Amino acid sequence: MRFSVTSRLPAFPLADRMIDLKNNAQLFDEMWGHDSTLRDAYANFNNWLEVEEPARLRKKQTEAERLFRLSGITFNVYSKDDKEKETERLIPFDIIPRIISAREWSRLSTGIEQRVRAINAFLHDIYHRQEIVRSGRLPIELLTHNEAFLPKMIGVSPPGSVYTHIVGIDLIRTGPDEFFVLEDNARTPSGVSYMLENRATMLHMFPELFSQNRVQTVLNYPRQLYRSLAKCTPAQTDNQPTVAVLTPGTYNSAYYEHSFLADKMGVELVEGHDLRVVNGRVAMRTTRGYKAIDVLYRRVDDDFIDPLNFCSDSTLGVAGILDVYRAGGITIANAPGTGIADDKAIYSYMPEIIEFYTGEKPLLKNVPTWRCNEPESLSYVLENLADLVVKEVHGSGGYGMLIGPTSSKRELAHFRKKLKANPGKYIAQPMLSLSTVPTFTRAGLAPRHVDLRPFVLVSPRGVDITPGGLTRVALKKGSVVVNSSQGGGTKDTWVLED
């Protein structure tokens, strides 16, 4: 057993290193750095860890699962083969926290704020004058040939000019000061309930850790979310605005999160069939008749939100809501059409987008990206396929992607064919060595790769970033796929006070 919890973590064995053919860079562990020197942010935590009984920790790890099961924080898995089979699963939780120093966080959050402001300015621009296209910085095809671009939003100005009220920015790290944005989530980012439940569970199981470490709280998120949404009410009202959360229903995989957020905000959780348009307003059916909604935090995709305007067979939305929206009768959060900003083809233009709207250099780096629709890039990608990660432009959840370094020759050949047949469908990125954080495994603690999704709230008042976010961890040894649908777990994320 290499990583016993009682002894310090030694340098990582070669087998556990991530395959990094390109740079052969040293793996970076957030607790032990490049060279097994304990990093400052983890000093207090390590004192605690050193005297903890492994048996007690193992028990706590089991207890955590019971707590999660009880709270009902499960996600639904659709099983085609067997309807009787268990369809609710837990995302594994790892009790070892991921710790970020105040200094690191302050740099990160400044970069995130810059990026989110640029995204909102970009959205406003492309649905109005499209200056960025006129200036020649963005090819018009990226908008016109993009399903995420909604022509119905052209000329529409949402209250306070806020398009993305809630954003999740996916970050990866490769060194002490090296952070990259992997993806922007500008539609309906999920996972914030895990951020909150992870913290609540840690507070419950290890209260002593929180008296020994000064960890910035994340538990204000629901209140901030409510305030942020309430600030975006469509018309000036004296009354407290009526906010509601729209869910596709109890069978949706993120239903727990929808009900959790509505509950914590103290607002109604509605489904399409609870709503209808009454006197030019979107209203919900209460026991005493219909009541108008001012701000709707929708967790339903653009395509399904309005059967009159989009998908006509959808039962998840409200017929006519888009017309009410355009007339200023309701605020929809996030605004329809924001998906264009997190499109993987647009992603590769983010550095230009940030510079164009803020006049500043981007503080957070993009992962270098080859657009396979460009002939030069394509030939580079085809030549170096074994070293690259290739993703579908419109894919999500880690599906349909190729991880070159871990793929067989046959898989590579197969993918090469797909690339040639339809290059515009793909982008490629180098294989970065994602940082690791010690994680509980059967054999003790071992380094596992992580990413980070901080959650950002935007209102006319400004940008609010919750200190921390959701850390996803690839539980399989050597794996860099953190998606819960593919064996990923989560960790509590600490941002220390100064």
Which of 14, 15, 55, 70: binder of another protein (CB under 8 A)? 70
The token pair at 318 is 């409200």
Among the listed residues 173, 109, 133, 154, the one whose alpha carbon sits nearest the alpha carbon of residue 456: 109
Tell whether residue 270 is a contact of another protein (CB under 8 A): yes
Angle, alpha carbons 422-344-179 (nearest 5°): 135
Burial 367-378, CB ≥16 within 10 A → b, else e: bebbbbbeeebb
| 3-class secondary structure, 496 | strand
Q: What minimum distance in Å lies between the beta carbon of 291 and another protein?
A: 9
Which CB sits closer to another protein, 55 or 70? 70
Which of 72, 395, 460, 462: binder of another protein (CB under 8 A)? 72
Contact string (CB under 8 A) for another protein, positions 82-121, x = contact: --x-------------------------------------
Q: What minimum distance in Å lies between the beta carbon of 57 and another protein?
A: 25
Q: What minimum distance in Å lies between the beta carbon of 84 and another protein?
A: 8
Which CB sits closer to another protein, 74 or 216? 74
Which CB sits closer to another protein, 87 or 358? 87
Tell whether residue 69 is a contact of another protein (CB under 8 A): yes
Positions in 451-490 near another protein (CB under 8 A): none
Tell whether residue 283 is a contact of another protein (CB under 8 A): no
Among 4-12, 13-21, 68-76, 132-140, the segment contacting another protein (CB under 8 A): 68-76
Task: Point out which residues pair with 22 in neighbouring strands.
Answer: none
Which of 271, 294, 342, 451: binder of another protein (CB under 8 A)? 271
Which CB sits closer to another protein, 268 or 355? 268
Q: What minimum distance in Å lies between the beta carbon of 211 and another protein?
A: 24
Tell whether residue 285 is a contact of another protein (CB under 8 A): yes
Q: What minimum distance in Å lies between the beta carbon of 288 and another protein?
A: 6
Q: How far is it, in rounded angstroms, from Cα 293 to Cα 283?
A: 5
Q: How far is it, in rounded angstroms, from Cα 243 to Cα 240?
A: 9
Which of 287, 312, 376, 409: binder of another protein (CB under 8 A)? 287
Q: What minimum distance in Å lies between the beta carbon of 270 and another protein?
A: 7
Tell whether residue 79 is a contact of another protein (CB under 8 A): no
Which of 181, 284, 340, 372: binder of another protein (CB under 8 A)? 284
Q: How far is it, in rounded angstroms, from Cα 284 to Cα 111?
A: 39
Query: Measuring CA to CA, how many Å separate 361 from each of 139, 144, 352?
Result: 21, 27, 9
Among 56-64, 259-267, 298-306, 360-368, the segment contacting another protein (CB under 8 A): 259-267
Which of 16, 113, 131, 274: binder of another protein (CB under 8 A)? 274
Number of residues that bind another protein (CB under 8 A): 24
Which CB sits closer to another protein, 269 or 465? 269
* Residues 479 and 451: beta-carbon distance below 8 Å: no
Q: What minimum distance in Å lies between the beta carbon of 493 and another protein?
A: 23
Q: How far is it, in rounded angstroms, from Cα 453 to Cα 470?
A: 5
In 359-440, alpha helices (H)? 375-383, 409-421
Among the listed residues 420, 424, 428, the one whose alpha carbon sits nearest the alpha carbon of residue 385: 428
Q: What minimum distance in Å lies between the beta carbon of 269 and another protein?
A: 5
Q: What element of type H or E holds 96?
A: strand 93-100
Task: Point out which residues pair with 388 in neighbouring strands.
Answer: 430
Tell whether residue 62 is a contact of another protein (CB under 8 A): no
Angle, alpha carbons 225-228-229 (nearest 5°): 85
For CA atoms 385, 388, 392, 397, give the dihedral sign: positive
Which of 237, 250, 315, 422: binder of another protein (CB under 8 A)? 250
Tell whether residue 293 is a contact of another protein (CB under 8 A): no
Q: For the chain, what is the largest distance between any 2 Cα atoms, rounded to a whole number of angstroms? A: 69
Q: What minimum distance in Å lies between the beta carbon of 271 and another protein?
A: 7
Spatial neighbors of 335 by CB under 8 A, at least 6 apart, are: 123, 153, 156, 158, 162, 163, 164, 165
Output Rg (C-alpha) for the chain, integer angstroms: 23
Binding site for another protein (CB under 8 A): 69-72, 84, 250, 255, 259-260, 262-263, 267-271, 273-274, 284-289
